[in-house]
Amino acid sequence: MIAENISAVQLKIKEACIRAGRNPEDCTLIAVSKTKPLPDLKEAYDAGKRDFGENKVQELQDKIPAMPADVKWHLIGHLQRNKVKYIVDKVYLIHSIDSYRLAEQVEKEAVKKNVDVNILIEVNVANEESKFGLTVDNTIAEIEAIAKLPHVHIKGLMTIAPYTDDPETNRPYFKQLKALSDKIKEMNIPNVEMKELSMGMTGDYEVAAEEGATLVRVGTGIFGQRNYNI
């Protein structure tokens, strides 16, 4: 079932890109495997998936050694400063940098481990109180500060849009993130690349792909409902 789901989602992404005049190869599907057992991840891996998203450091630490080495791990959940040291040299991309202090901690640990770390800046475009992320108004100033950290490389922006039954209601937020990304790109800030836009989940990834997402994060649509009570 997981392999079929991946194919189906992949096809919808492709169609969305084509509708929007985009190259489907510019939009990568991240399989969000949080709470799911290893056999599910292996099935996705065998179906060809290499990009996996997790939101908890502990779970990443358990899953990384159990999966093949060519998996690209995306940390998509809120990151606490005291946990940075456990994952800084193990993940492909951290999507959830939402403050200078957190980026500074990543820099510190990156120096210790002699690695470079690729990050995205999380923006709370919809201004939801329950969500992490910088406000649109603060993002540029924070990026200019974070860009000065030599081992931390900003690759783009990420947002978690509001939960909704109608994905069209999130289209303006995706458009806004894309516009912000374009604006920052034009500033040509050293050590800042605006090549990735991480947006779209099971409920709204097609709209996100139409609006320029380069990374969509799909969990339920691939692995089925999550059970948090196990």
Ligand X SMILES: *Cc1c(COP(=O)(O)O)cnc(C)c1O
Site residues, ligand X (CB under 6 A): 32, 34, 55, 76-77, 160, 201-203, 217-221
Q: How far apart are CA 39 and CA 28, in angstroms?
A: 22
- Element housing 178 (H / E): helix 171-187
**Closer residue to ligand X (CB): 28 or 202:** 202
**Closer residue to ligand X (CB): 109 or 122:** 122
State the nearest-atom distance from the C-beta of 198 to ligand X, in Å: 8
Q: Which two tokens stand for residue 227?
A: 């059970």
**Closer residue to ligand X (CB): 139 or 149:** 139
**Closer residue to ligand X (CB): 110 or 218:** 218
State the nearest-atom distance from the C-beta of 190 to ligand X, in Å: 28
Decide the pairing of beta strands 72-75 and 93-97.
parallel
Q: How far apart are CA 203 and CA 196, in angstroms?
A: 20
Q: Which residue is nearest to ligand X (CB)?
A: 219
3-state helix, strand, coil in the chain (%, to 5): 45, 20, 35
Query: E strands, the chain, where?
Result: 28-32, 51-54, 72-75, 93-97, 117-122, 152-158, 192-198, 215-218
**Closer residue to ligand X (CB): 79 or 152:** 79
State the nearest-atom distance from the C-beta of 25 to ligand X, in Å: 21
Q: Residues 6 or more apart from 25 whose CB is under 8 A from it?
A: none
Q: How many alpha carbons lie under 13 Å from residue 100 in its C-beta half-sphere?
A: 12
State the nearest-atom distance from the C-beta of 154 to ligand X, in Å: 18
**Closer residue to ligand X (CB): 77 or 88:** 77
State the nearest-atom distance from the C-beta of 46 to ligand X, in Å: 21
State the nearest-atom distance from the C-beta of 75 to ligand X, in Å: 9
Q: Which of 69, 108, 112, 114 is nearest to 92 (CA)?
A: 69
